[in-house]
Amino acid sequence: MAHASESTVGAPAILREVKPAVLPRAILVEHGRSFSWITDKISGIIEGKTPGWWWVCFILACFVASFTVGGITYLVATGVGVWGHANPVNWAWDIVNFVFWIGIGHAGTLISAILCLLRQKWRTSINRAAEAMTIFAVVCAAIFPVFHVGRIWYAWYLFPIPNSNVIWQNFRSPLEWDVFAVSTYGTVSVLFWYVGLIPDLAVLRDRFYAAGNKLRSFLYGLFAMGWRGSNRHWSNYEMAYLILAGVSTPLVLSVHTIVSFDFAVSLLPGWHTTIFPPYFVAGAIFSGFGMVLTLMLPLRAVYGLQDLITQYHIDCMCKITLATGTIVGYAYGMEFFIAWYGANPYEGFAFINRAFGHYAWAYWIMISCNVITPQFFWFRKVRENTTLVWVLSIFVNVGMWFERFVIIVTSLARDFLPSSWGYYSPSIVEIFTFFGTFGVFSVLFLLFIRFLPIMPMAELKAVTPQADVHGGHHGDHKTGLGDPASVEQGGPQP
């Protein structure tokens, strides 16, 4: 400490003259909304009557989800042979969809954890829904490897539980690492989400109690753990939240790294590359932000959340999509460069075959959706057109599914010996199972927006101008945060 103060005293006089530029801060909650407006707005979504569109969507989602239920029931009843896997492609649809869904989940953790550590306050309005998306995406992802084991009732062999064969799991295999990575990811995501929900559940507990709905008050109260907004609790809570963000950050990076190890640790041309971990992580975040936009833009329109999910939020999300999409595009190019520069004929063939072989159609869908689509986000006019942003986000989702398909299927279908080459097409059971997961995801997401607060009320209140206790004292630091008079808005508002 002594050194620090000495250096301040001994600093050149000029430093005291320097006035850092005051950058205007983006307004995260528009129209100077009060605390109670936020509470009423978010709680109102849950307290109000179930809207008609919700029932329509829910029934439709249940219908779509029944395809997964039907597909896996038929698989379990008949055998894993009902999927289109055959030599040399013994691993395609399930792992493509597994990686696709896990990747979507990663944007939720990026928003909730990495942006929290980077103090990107704009995350507050979208993090709850994005974390929910993560959890539901992990649920959809887990369906595929679990049912690909064939005898689902032996799925517990994946975990180190003593079994009658007395043999343990092979911890040298990236697939076993994946078991731990994905189950940890799912568990920690649920814990992180739940911790974030506790203060908001307490709000709902009290509101339902005041409204006379004892049953719902009891249920929300049970999970609110008796939260009472004590600052001694907030102190530990905030620290716990920060640590969870701190551990979720290396977690999300490690999960997709380990997923990429499933391929990179093998010796197959097109898979055996060191670029996979960073390339997969960037791709996961890219696809996840695509899905966040796909989900949040309709939600914003339907519930009139324009004051909470502002144009600034959409801009930020579009820019991250653009940045990660460009990283993915760079990785595609670098793969080709290394295939040529490595001078390995098998590696070189694998990439020429991807772009011009039997699966060229899939490759060019991938390139146009993943590399070209996000480039539109350079333009403000595009980012401000929410319909167009939504359509582009769908293209991102499609492109990232094809990326996994291209990587996995082309390498397996054309490996070292031409005599063992093949062509993979999914069976109808596989298509149904995958199609149905969108229903599973939608059912879960619709239940979430009906019964849980879709935005973290406490966190939103904390980023409003009137939450700043020093608002009136040194207002010169607060340019762009609204006029100092807004500090007085903390009280009850109509």
Looking at residue 87, what DSSP letter applies?
T
446-465 residues in contact with another protein (CB under 8 A) are: 457-459, 461-462
From the number of C-beta atoms within 10 Å of its C-beta (0-12, 13-18, 19+), residue 382 rates as: middle
Q: Residue 260 is which amino acid?
A: S
Question: What is the torsion angle, in degrees rounded to the nearest 10, for the CA atoms of residue 70, residue 76, residue 80 and residue 82?
Answer: -40
- The only residue of 227, 263, 351, 401 in contact with another protein, by rule CB under 8 A: 227
Residues from 119 through 178 that contact another protein (CB under 8 A): 160, 166-172, 174, 176-177
Angle CA(189)–CA(398)–CA(69) in degrees, nearest 5? Answer: 60
The answer to the question of residue 226 lying near another protein (CB under 8 A) is yes
Q: Is residue 32 within 8 Å of 489, Cβ to Cβ?
A: yes
By CB under 8 A, which span of 77-85, 251-259, 299-307, 412-420 interacts with another protein? 251-259
Q: Provide the minimum distance between the beta carbon of 494 and another protein in the complex, in angstroms, as a whole number.
A: 12
- List C-alpha distances in Å: 76 to 73, 97, 150, 353, 382: 5, 18, 7, 35, 47
Q: Which two tokens stand for residue 457?
A: 């009320």
Q: Which residue number, 181 or 297, has a Cβ lying nearer to another protein? A: 181
Nearest distance from C-beta of residue 113 to another protein, angstroms:
11
Is there binding between residue 117 and another protein (CB under 8 A)? Answer: no
DSSP state of 371: I
Give the binding range for another protein (CB under 8 A) out of 32-40, 86-94, 354-362, 374-382: 32-40
**Contact track, another protein, 255-294, x by CB under 8 A:** ---x--x---------------------------------
Q: List the interface residues with another protein, window 181-210 (CB under 8 A).
A: 181, 184, 187-188, 191-192, 195, 199, 202-203, 206-207, 209-210
From the number of C-beta atoms within 10 Å of its C-beta (0-12, 13-18, 19+), residue 450 rates as middle
CA distance 223 to 312: 33
CA–CA separation, 186 and 105 (whole Å): 10
Q: Which CB sits closer to another protein, 42 or 143?
A: 42
Which three-class secondary structure state does DSSP give residue 170?
A: coil
Is 491 near another protein (CB under 8 A)? Answer: yes
Site string for another protein, 399-438 (x = CB under 8 A): ----------------------------------------
How near is the Cβ of 413 to another protein at its closest, in Å?
Answer: 25
In the complex, what is the shortest distance from the CB of residue 453 to another protein, in angstroms, rounded to a whole number? 12
Q: Is 477 in the site for another protein (CB under 8 A)?
A: no
- Give the Cα separation of 462 and 337 in Å (integer): 48
Cα(72)–Cα(348) distance, integer angstroms: 38
Per rule CB under 8 A, is residue 375 in the interface with another protein? no
Residues 36-95 that bind another protein (CB under 8 A): 36, 39
Task: For the CB of residue 198, give the shortest distance to another protein in the complex, in Å.
Answer: 8
Positive or negative CA dihedral for 75, 76, 81, 87? positive
Q: Using CB under 8 A, which of 151, 214, 228, 477 touches another protein? A: 228
- With tokens 């899939």, the residue in question is 362
CB of 231 to another protein, least distance (A): 4
